[in-house]
Amino acid sequence: MWRRDASGVFLEGHDTMTKILALKAKGIQVDYVAGNHDYHVLDLVNPGYPIKFSKELTLNDGPVTYRLVHGYEFDPEQKIPFMAFLCRVMSDTGGSLENHVWTDFNSLNNIFSKIEPSFVKTDLAAAAERLHKRPEDRLKDSIGHVNSTACKQAKPGEVLVFGHTHVPFINKAENVVNTGSWVKDSNPSDTYVELSNGKPRLFVCGPQKREITERVDW
């Protein structure tokens, strides 16, 4: 959805949206936690929409709280004004134009100097180039920082759920879980999390779902 027409993306995902809305019809609450590539959906606030869009979702399960965020919050390269600007170029043609902006330092400098001067003081061209890479490549050197930052953010009595890096895991304390990714060239791909009785469980989706039981330390 980054630098794309949001309406067009939802139309392309019609089959998926139909399945999600079928859950809604059965009385299941559906929430959408926005990330860095679809930050602009937070502007969709009409109470008549069948899906609620939010930056963060909190669910209570007895004494345990589940806090769900996208995870860009733990990535120092993700600047909200930067994400918001790119996401709000909400047309395919505008998005195509912005693809060229990646390589145009002067345009980036002029645009972002008006948005967040402190960000321009960094190496903007290099930051733009890194953000243009696939997350699996861009985050190779910083994934440890993102994961360790997330683990430090978990509060007592809370299970923190995030994604962003496309690499699924549950930490040894079982209070932080990364949902992974449905990008086909991720390994493993098609992962999801079940939350029950204060514990996260990580699975690979398929005809016979497979649980990932390994726990890691960050």
**Which CATH number characterizes residue 160's domain?**
3.60.21.10
pLDDT-derived band of residue 124, with 50, 70 and 90 as boundaries?
low
Query: Residues 204, 190: contact at Cβ < 8 Å?
Result: yes
Residue 161: inside a domain: yes
Residue 19: inside a domain: no
Please give the Cα distance from 171 to 150 (Å, whole number): 11
- Asked if residue 156 has a cis previous peptide bond (ω within 30° of 0), the answer is no
Residue 56: inside a domain: yes
> What is the average per-residue pLDDT within 44-55?
88
62-162-21 Cα angle (round to 5): 80
Residue 104: inside a domain: no
Residue 149: inside a domain: yes
> Residue 44 belongs to what domain range?
28-73+139-212
- Predicted pLDDT at 153: 94
Instruction: Report the largest interatomic distance among the alpha carbons of the chain, rounded to a whole angstrom.
Output: 53
> What is the average per-residue pLDDT within 85-89?
71
Domain count, the chain: 1
Residue 108: inside a domain: no
Burial code (b: 16+ CB inside 10 Å, e: under 16) for 189-212 equals eebebebeebebbbbbeeeeeeeb
Tokens found for residue 70:
């996208």
Residue 103: inside a domain: no
Helices (H), 114-201: 117-120, 124-132, 135-138, 143-153
Give pTM, 2 decimals. 0.78
Query: In the structure, how many helices (H) and strands (E) does the chain have?
Result: 9, 10
Residue 165: inside a domain: yes
The predicted-structure confidence for 143-183, as pLDDT tens digits, reads as follows: 899 999 999 999 999 999 999 999 999 999 999 999 998 88
- Predicted pLDDT at 9: 82
